[in-house]
Amino acid sequence: MNNSQQRGPGTPRTARATERSQARRAELIAIGRGLFADTSYDALSMDDIARQAGVAKGLIYYYFKNKRGYYLAIIEDAVAGLVQRASSTHDLPPMERVQHTIDGYLRYAEHHQAAYRAIVTGGVGFDAQVLAIRDAVREQLLGTIAHAAWGRAEIPALARTALVGWLSSVEGVTLEWIARRELDRSTVCSLLVRGLGGTLRLIEEYEPACPAPTRPPIP
């Protein structure tokens, strides 16, 4: 039997082992998201996490090194879901894309409240790594909005500053909404989209190279 024949049977086994490992890691992240949704970071020890997850503590160390690594993996996974939900709009006309992006953002916050709060408030206290993750989310969302409004992601400093201000208001409004739940999602979405329309028109006054859409970006 030649070397390629000897190696052949091992390749599928390796691939299957990798798939199982990835699935197990994803399962632990899903479990952790639920745990941290109900209990603060500081209140959960690795023993608590292992017991509630029904796994050996060593398994969590194997995949994530420590509790902080586990927590950051959960936040990064949440960010990926948020960006995917908010930015899956490339086949829509520009203004529908804006509407869909904001609605997707709100839907994510509504259904993943603990993860959303951790992302936009900085996680455990003032956590530089979680804030860096949040900043990466902002960059992707700003790029999505700028591309929908002007067909490009690179924008002047003034336009960027104004959009960051609008996005900060989006985060504040969303946190208030998921905490109090006094408005339906469509109303909040309309409020935020109208606010974006006002911001775009203000940008146009200072940056004629960034004209506001010919019609307001509202439903």
**pLDDT the model gives residue 90:** 59
The region of weakest confidence among 131-135, 171-175, 208-212 is 131-135
**CA distances in angstroms from 67 to 48, 73, 112, 159, listed in the order given:** 11, 10, 20, 39
pLDDT band at 219 (very low <50, low <70, confident <90, very high): very low
CA distance 151 to 155: 10
Q: Yes or no: say if 185 and 194 are a contact pair by the CB < 8 Å rule.
A: no
Take residue 149 and report the two structure tokens written for it: 């409004």
Q: Which of 73-77, 101-105, 201-205 has the highest mean pLDDT?
A: 201-205
**pLDDT the model gives residue 86:** 59
**pLDDT the model gives residue 102:** 87
Helix (H, G, I), strand (E, B) or coil at 90: coil
**pLDDT the model gives residue 208:** 92
**pLDDT the model gives residue 92:** 64
5 Cβ neighbours under 8 A, 6+ residues apart = none
Count of beta carbons in the 10 Å neighbourhood of residue 61: 15
Q: What is the DSSP string of 16-72?
A: HHHHHHHHHHHHHHHHHHHHHHHS-TTT--HHHHHHHHTS-HHHHHHHHSSHHHHHH
Q: pLDDT tens digit string along 196-213?
A: 999 999 999 999 999 987
Helix (H, G, I), strand (E, B) or coil at 18: helix
Mean pLDDT of 36-64: 86
pLDDT at residue 175 above 80?
A: yes
